[in-house]
Amino acid sequence: MVCDRSFGKPKRISGRFFDFVKFHDFIVNKINKVALSEEIYLSRKSIWRKFKPFFNYSPTPYDSLFLLKTKSPKRWVLGIDGKWLRRNGVIMIYRNVTKKINLYWSFHLTESYEAVERDFKQLTPIIADRLPSGVITDWKGALVSAINIFLPPIPHQRCLSHVKRQLMRLLPLRSPILATQKLRRVAQEIIKIADRKEKRLWKKKLYSWIKEYDYLLRVRTIGVGTKKKWWYTHGNLRRAIKLLMFEEKHLFAYLSYKFLPKTNNAIEGSNSQIKTKLSNHRGMKTPQQATFIFWLLTFRRVKGRRDLKRLWDRLKNKIYRF
């Protein structure tokens, strides 16, 4: 016998929906097995035994699709990003960043084209009734290729948060090279550009740097006793300039299409929350982490007890099929 505090009287944990409710609290709230054991008077081992069937089943986006009651607006943006589980795999998240709704998610060992292609084949039926008006990604090659194939020509914004992070790695803060320090200051401003006038002023600074330090981009180091005969001495400067001179229609698409965000922060914020949740439940192996995230994304579609009961009625046979 245990105390079900929602009703204030003792209740036997025999009904599996009660377990599902507690599992929902375990996944969504900041409650670990220790706190949960104090709440329902069961040992952590007993709690794990109750939760084991849920971790044996990974819910798909289609399992809870019926909970997405709101239709996409006429103009909406598809955001795509990956949450890496260290180097053991990546959770791909496809999100309607306009309505802040996760449409599809999946787990892959790598962000290969084959993996992304499989995702788009599953995503397409979900968005078939209303295709996105734009898309924002970190510009990984597999994503760019899949978008060009599976979606009609639409504005594609390269996430400026990712661009800035790449630039900061290429242009270290304490570099002894004055040219690197100056280019870093120019690069930091890219995410602050709000209109075409600011873009023109920013490009003027960039071209001024190129005019002054272009010679550094051509300096070569001759290899002695190495396989390579020569290489560019300031390779990171060359990479940074190439990134800053990236095609304008993708780097600054948000200036032409006001509905497009310039960063993928909507998904990155969600990924940050996922990281926090995983840190509250340390010790899980990669398959368990992936399942945990799948349940978390599923439960985010739940708006109340009624939705949770409807989800339970749909999944209980799948969860306890063994």
Domain formed by 70-159+264-301, architecture: 2-Layer Sandwich (3.30)
What does the CA dihedral 22, 24, 30, 34 come to, rounded to 10 degrees? 30
pLDDT of residue 42: 62
Confirm if 76 and 257 have CB atoms less than 8 A apart: no
pLDDT of residue 19: 86
Strands (E), 22-100: 77-84, 90-96
* pLDDT tens figures, 1-33: 344 444 444 444 345 898 898 899 889 886 665
pLDDT of residue 3: 42
**pTM of the predicted model over 0.85:** yes
Confirm if 253 and 134 have CB atoms less than 8 A apart: yes
CA 105 – CA 91 distance, rounded (Å): 7
pLDDT of residue 38: 55
Rounded to an integer, what is the distance from CA 238 to the centroid of its chain? 29
CB proximity list for 24: less than 8 A, separation 6 or greater: 299, 302, 308
Q: In the chain, which residues have pLDDT < 50?
A: 1-14
Residue with tokens 């999946």: 106
How does DSSP assign 175-221, residue by residue?
Answer: -S-HHHHHHHHHHHGGGG--SHHHHHHHHHHHHHHHHHHGGGGG-EE
pLDDT of residue 32: 62
Distances in Å between the Cα of 148 and the Cα atoms of 121, 141, 155, 309, 315 are 14, 11, 11, 40, 35
CA 264 – CA 234 distance, rounded (Å): 30
